[in-house]
Chains A and B, each alone.
Chain A
């Protein structure tokens, strides 16, 4: 009878509802994520976190090229929270080496014009990136203690490898803190002993300097010997190189003028120089898609790969932003028409064609396909009254290009993402640190070596590596060092620090086009030697204080 069927149905429905009344478990877990005890149960888990720690220097999140950013906060993933792009924006854009052309309402112009405020999103991103990296490193260090390794059942060679990687993580923490110290003059201070969820304290510039130096010295014996670790990771030489750089700039960081800093700079630069590094034969080849071959000269480089390490804020940015319709020369399918140099960089070179000094990598490329693009080749050409927004005004910098020196195809077949690795420490910087430290009165080196190293840099640049020739100097002054650094290291993230060390960054002594927002260039207030602390951070963390003048 049909009512039987209905009654069965009714019973069935009520039964279902009845079962539901039993309190269901509300503790649900995501399908694809792991809790810490799962991640750190295997050596591969540790390695994937270590890869992430290194990877934060190159790409912006967990999805390439974009989509799962490390840092949200309303910040643009590609442009505002990328390590290389951020460092470039703040180390190069306020200087004579770079100016941008994007008509974005002055957002980036504020950097070149020294018109930054504490609400600037680029500043916010620049603060957030190194601190995020450090938070991650601290977590790794907490999970990689001997006790934790034992608790997770990791023993033998696996445990040893992880133990050794702790020094690498600490190096990277020191490196991130160096950038905070250099740009902001103070920092949020967290270590592996800091708890998640609490507002961290602030550390002053001088204390941060001491912390960085002591950390680097402490890991000296734990890092792999120079030139022994696999490409992409740091060894002792990177630590020496960072110490040399930190000591050279120590008066800026500590506020104390003392030549003993230069003694240490010479000591550590010498350690690197004597570790077996040599200059590569070709300067332009150092910044091409297959530049990972330059292990003789690169002490530490951030890896980028067109297929596996994709981001809009690593060297992909440096290549694209520098070109427009001359993009094919840069090895990419399109240009972003963004960044080029001011005439002041041109003034450092007597010949812009690159035929005498091969470091003059500026295009005078003419795209005959549709229009003739007249690129600036003289200082005057940036100085037009139409403002900074015209990409055809200025020096197109063709230093970072996504083409291979061997002519082979690059990894990304769509020619979007660059394979070019970004060098953090190269041998020439150590030569020039040595020379500068000697000239600044440091002990432990010699004037003769200073001149020799200086000329080694130039001889390679002039195409006769290791042989004295036309480019050689017979005597050098401090100003020669600054200019040589400009020629050798432009667009590699050194310029702001250098100009500050020489007292030229904000003063009216040295001006370049559009410095301070004025066509002819003008001096600006000295408080601009530091970036403002993002106001959002101060609001959410009352322990932080603002820099003077913001």
Chain B
């Protein structure tokens, strides 16, 4: 059997491990310098060939090594330089190292690495030195503005909060468009959180531990991940140890943040004049009598300056020839929203030993992180912008002494209709929502070169990703929403765990083809992944007012636990072939079988092919102006099966009532329900075919480099939660494979080094991506999506063939001569004399046409100064805050019918609407923006502590400014439907940092 032979092949040689011979020593000295500018290079690894003996150069580039008498050769290596072997001589050695050109860098791709020059697919790799700077707590933020076509939109300024990631626009509608995240070879659960919790799973990775991130964009690069790669792939590779002396690094950052911009609301004086004027004209004094005399700025009350302290200490080197890296990180960060707190401890261990004469390479990664957070109630942001500014902050009452809207009986007005929000300060101070997220992520990768057939490698990757999230939400008795007749206070415990097991076994064959001037490598892989979620359904507890003891508030839950499970089994073959130095070919096919679909619909095949042609080497060999030119063309198919937690869709499942509040009374007994689910045995993969054409270029010795990409992404068989005929199934909606969509685009990136000399280097990078997404077919159907906040069941978006999937569907506002919108007056689009639902029309969209990023860095001697910016053009937002609070009467308006006052949007001064105009295109605003993300300054102090350590200090400012026409707080919004409704403000953060190497 295959496996048996494999075991033998691996274990036998291991027993024969030979020991290094000991002999008479001699001493060799030398100095290592850069071939270009002659500067000495520190930390170069110098080892005696064939032994484990090695040293590193000191700060002056000098080294001294004892070598056995028999030794003849030294191996010199350093990251970023071409390695070399030097014959041992008696005199001091003078070694010049040649910097590796950028294009020779190794880039991490699907199941392996490739030289950048040999890439055939569209891959953008960003290494640590190019990451976004500043106080960054979640890894995806490191890529902001760096990768053309990658849109990263954080949900807001919550520390450790998640982001919406889109590579080349949307690829699916009801399936996931999130990219697949692969951490050190383990594809991890998609999405941001564990269950419905507040935690962000990606924030468990300490950005300090990341070596590089690769963004795989086209299908020839992603198809190797098959079933889950339609949204692209982001591969995160963490830092590893290297041979040589143990080096330590300590990194510390202190950051201070404040709210850059608040929502524009009315002042107390404005509210008084509006209400007084209304009372004078209508004769109704209801609200006039409620007016207070204050001018409270509620937003000021809920925000604070945030403080963050980020530390990471790492050691890397080798112990007994086993390269290792260990790190310990500690981050403590408060949010700008009062009571918000994020605390993270991370540890990571990497071991990368080689055994059996380097035939067996082992790579062990283990990461553990513990995030503990206090989540401020973000509803307080909405409450603060809406709370009556004429009222004082405090008041004599039983609700903690904060002002609340009460009836004469001292009871809060309407706490279960959802209309009256509590005092924002009460929402923050009287609610304690904490969370602990523990994550263990580890894998062992083996690469065994067969003794008897050295071109063949056996690769094994076994990994576990285990995340456990516990949260506790305590709302105390002072909170009006939990201060009810029979109960006071509430307590809810959330517990959920995600387990993800991975086992890959593959055979890898690589061979130089000297005759053909090329090489070939072939990979055959079998992979198996089991994704299990452990759900615990807990009731909410409260304190009974009569007995004073704890009792459940929510109805008893029928099933206290659930364990949805998803299993994927895959096979992959890939071949890379290059010949005649200039031509590169890649082809692959992957098959995935997923437990989610019916047995006969389970397997999907995802092929890809790509070719690259090194034009520079073939045609422009002697040109000096042109230093690189490569043409790439690729096509491939990827799949999507992620329809959320709907894991068992192909057969009817009868579920019991979720809780005891869903029962029916016969006689005097209540009976729980049993109900079949809708099901579809024909459901299968959604697939995306991507065509990609790319050109990589370099001019003037690669002082100017970059690429241009053109792509066309066609998704068919969309996994669509589609309306079906009532009576044809146990719902009016079920998942079917219906319709298709397309995204087309162009990406352009340029990186230049306008100045480079001994003292001064100036680097400049710019990228821009154009994308157009369109639904091409929905089987004639139309879907209204994007529920607005405030209106009963109303929507603002539409899915319709021929349009962008983020299109708005609105009424066209009519304006008076002064440009003021006229309340209730809209265009009669179909000219039938009636303004009704038939007059709604498609107007603008939330997806941007262009995304761009800009970076520049100036290094002068020991100083560096950098800027990073990004932006978007052609994106619109529905200003839901203005729509829901920019009018004077009715629910959400200044004069609330339930007899209290709410603050309004300052936009009310422009419209003077008395009632809400939810679906007016007046509220669809241009949200194009340019954001200067970061200004950073660095100074290399150099040697300190008697040359024992070197120090670098940095200072930066994040979120410097935003240029936009958008009238709301922030034009960058992670809502997929483009609905802006009081996001957590992104703070402006000032950071001081120090990095100490010793």
A residues adjacent to B (C-beta < 8 A): 3, 6-7, 9-11, 13-18, 20-21, 23-24, 26-36, 38-39, 45, 47-52, 54-55, 58-59, 61-65, 67-68, 70-76, 79-80, 101-105, 107-108, 110, 115, 117, 119-122, 124, 127-128, 131-132, 134-136, 139, 188-190, 194, 196-200, 230-233, 303, 305, 307-310, 320, 324-325, 327-328, 332-337, 367-373, 387, 389-392, 413-417, 535-537, 539-541, 543-544
1/0 per residue B429-441: CB within 8 Å of A?
0000000000000
Q: How far is the CB of B650 from chain A (nearest CB, A)?
A: 10
14 more contacts with CB within 8 A, not counting A50-B671, A414-B416, are A10-B362, A24-B569, A71-B733, A74-B783, A103-B889, A105-B794, A121-B784, A128-B732, A136-B676, A232-B666, A370-B900, A415-B416, A539-B780, A540-B781
Q: How far is the CB of A46 from chain B (nearest CB, A)?
A: 9
Using known A-B contacts A10-B14, A196-B730, determine if residue A36 contacts B409 with beta carbons closer than 8 Å. no
Q: Does B538 sit at the interface, judged by CB under 8 A?
A: no
- CB neighbours (8 Å) of B461 from chain A are 17
Which single member of A15, A131, A392, A536 contacts B897 (CB below 8 Å)?
A392
- How far is B781's CA from A256's CA once the two chains are assembled, in angstroms? 38
- CB neighbours (8 Å) of A335 from chain B are 414, 417, 898
- CB neighbours (8 Å) of A367 from chain B are 407, 899
User: Are the C-beta atoms of B416 and A51 separated by less than 8 Å?
Assistant: no
Q: How far is the CB of A328 from chain B (nearest CB, A)?
A: 8
- How far is B289's CA from A251's CA once the two chains are assembled, in angstroms? 56
- How far is B889's CA from A481's CA once the two chains are assembled, in angstroms? 40
- CB neighbours (8 Å) of A63 from chain B are 657-659, 661-662
Q: Does B460 sit at the interface, judged by CB under 8 A?
A: yes
- How far is B980's CA from A95's CA once the two chains are assembled, in angstroms? 37
Q: How far is the CB of B887 from chain A (nearest CB, A)?
A: 8
User: Are the C-beta atoms of B726 and A537 separated by less than 8 Å?
Assistant: yes
Using known A-B contacts A14-B10, A74-B783, A537-B725, determine if residue A370 contacts B290 with beta carbons closer than 8 Å. yes
- CB neighbours (8 Å) of B898 from chain A are 324-325, 334-335, 337
- CB neighbours (8 Å) of B721 from chain A are 72
Q: Does B653 sit at the interface, judged by CB under 8 A?
A: yes
User: Are the C-beta atoms of B673 and A52 separated by less than 8 Å?
Assistant: yes
Using known A-B contacts A52-B673, A62-B658, A63-B659, determine if residue A196 contacts B917 with beta carbons closer than 8 Å. no
Which single member of A13, A103, A134, A392 contacts B462 (CB below 8 Å)?
A13
- CB neighbours (8 Å) of A197 from chain B are 680, 728-729
- CB neighbours (8 Å) of A120 from chain B are 837
User: Are the C-beta atoms of A414 and B485 separated by less than 8 Å?
Assistant: yes
Q: Which of B72-80, B491-499, B558-566 contacts A (4 or more CB under 8 A)?
A: B558-566
1/0 per residue B712-746: CB within 8 Å of A?
00000000011111111111110000000000000
- How far is B7's CA from A524's CA once the two chains are assembled, in angstroms? 85
User: Are the C-beta atoms of A102 and B555 separated by less than 8 Å?
Assistant: no
- How far is B554's CA from A67's CA once the two chains are assembled, in angstroms? 13
User: Are the C-beta atoms of A232 and B665 separated by less than 8 Å?
Assistant: yes
How many residue pairs bridge A and B at CB < 8 Å? Answer: 407
Using known A-B contacts A64-B662, A117-B838, A536-B781, determine if residue A200 contacts B725 with beta carbons closer than 8 Å. yes
Q: How far is the CB of B197 from chain A (nearest CB, A)?
A: 17
1/0 per residue B744-779: CB within 8 Å of A?
000000000000000000000000000000000001
User: Are the C-beta atoms of B503 and A333 separated by less than 8 Å?
Assistant: no
Task: Choose among B723, B838, B887 the residue with the greatest number of A CB atoms under 10 Å from its CB.
Answer: B723
User: Are the C-beta atoms of B655 and A325 separated by less than 8 Å?
Assistant: no
Q: Does B238 sit at the interface, judged by CB under 8 A?
A: no
- CB neighbours (8 Å) of A23 from chain B are 569
Q: Does B32 sit at the interface, judged by CB under 8 A?
A: no
Q: Does B513 sit at the interface, judged by CB under 8 A?
A: no
User: Are the C-beta atoms of A105 and B791 separated by less than 8 Å?
Assistant: yes
For B738, the closest partner residue in chain A by CB is: A540
Q: Which of B162-170, B259-267, B592-600, B628-636 contacts A (4 or more CB under 8 A)?
A: B592-600
Q: Does B505 sit at the interface, judged by CB under 8 A?
A: yes
Task: Say which size band chain B's interface belongs to.
Answer: 35 or more
1/0 per residue B862-903: CB within 8 Å of A?
000000000000000000000000010111110001111000
7 A-B residue pairings within 8 Å (CB atoms): A24-B530, A62-B657, A103-B892, A132-B731, A308-B665, A371-B899, A390-B889
Which single member of B485, B663, B891, B917 contacts A102 (CB below 8 Å)?
B891
10 closest A-B pairs by CB: A64-B661, A369-B408, A413-B486, A541-B725, A334-B414, A230-B667, A33-B653, A76-B793, A63-B658, A51-B671
- CB neighbours (8 Å) of A54 from chain B are 664, 666
- CB neighbours (8 Å) of A417 from chain B are 661
Using known A-B contacts A14-B446, A48-B673, A334-B416, determine if residue A540 contacts B659 with beta carbons closer than 8 Å. no
User: Are the C-beta atoms of A540 and B724 separated by less than 8 Å?
Assistant: yes
Which single member of B462, B654, B661, B730 contacts A33 (CB below 8 Å)?
B654
For A6, the closest partner residue in chain B by CB is: B355
- How far is B664's CA from A58's CA once the two chains are assembled, in angstroms? 8
- CB neighbours (8 Å) of A119 from chain B are 782, 784, 837
Q: Does B945 sit at the interface, judged by CB under 8 A?
A: no
Q: How far is the CB of A496 from chain B (nearest CB, A)?
A: 20
User: Are the C-beta atoms of A28 and B837 separated by less than 8 Å?
Assistant: no
Q: Does B330 sit at the interface, judged by CB under 8 A?
A: no
Using known A-B contacts A24-B567, A33-B653, A64-B659, determine if residue A7 contacts B726 with beta carbons closer than 8 Å. no
Using known A-B contacts A64-B659, A188-B726, A194-B727, determine if residue A325 contacts B567 with beta carbons closer than 8 Å. no
- CB neighbours (8 Å) of A390 from chain B are 889-890, 897
1/0 per residue B790-832: CB within 8 Å of A?
0111110000000000000000000000000000000000000
- CB neighbours (8 Å) of A68 from chain B are 655, 658, 662
- CB neighbours (8 Å) of A307 from chain B are 555, 660-661
Q: Does B484 sit at the interface, judged by CB under 8 A?
A: yes
User: Are the C-beta atoms of A337 and B891 separated by less than 8 Å?
Assistant: yes
For B779, the closest partner residue in chain A by CB is: A539
Q: Does B670 sit at the interface, judged by CB under 8 A?
A: yes
- How far is B573's CA from A198's CA once the two chains are assembled, in angstroms? 40
- How far is B664's CA from A49's CA once the two chains are assembled, in angstroms? 11
Interface residues of B in 276-308 (CB under 8 A from A): 286, 289-290
User: Are the C-beta atoms of B653 and A199 separated by less than 8 Å?
Assistant: no
Which single member of A48, A51, A65, A127 contacts B726 (CB below 8 Å)?
A127
Q: Does B652 sit at the interface, judged by CB under 8 A?
A: yes
Q: Does B11 sit at the interface, judged by CB under 8 A?
A: yes
Q: How far is the CB of B603 from chain A (nearest CB, A)?
A: 10
Q: How far is the CB of B487 from chain A (nearest CB, A)?
A: 7
- How far is B367's CA from A531's CA once the two chains are assembled, in angstroms? 61
User: Are the C-beta atoms of B460 and A17 separated by less than 8 Å?
Assistant: yes
Q: Does B15 sit at the interface, judged by CB under 8 A?
A: yes
- CB neighbours (8 Å) of A328 from chain B are 409, 411
User: Are the C-beta atoms of A413 and B487 separated by less than 8 Å?
Assistant: yes
Using known A-B contacts A30-B564, A105-B916, A132-B730, determine if residue A18 contacts B505 with beta carbons closer than 8 Å. yes
- CB neighbours (8 Å) of B726 from chain A are 127-128, 131-132, 135, 188, 537
Which single member of B674, B792, B893 contacts A49 (CB below 8 Å)?
B674
Using known A-B contacts A13-B446, A68-B658, A105-B791, determine if residue A369 contacts B407 with beta carbons closer than 8 Å. yes
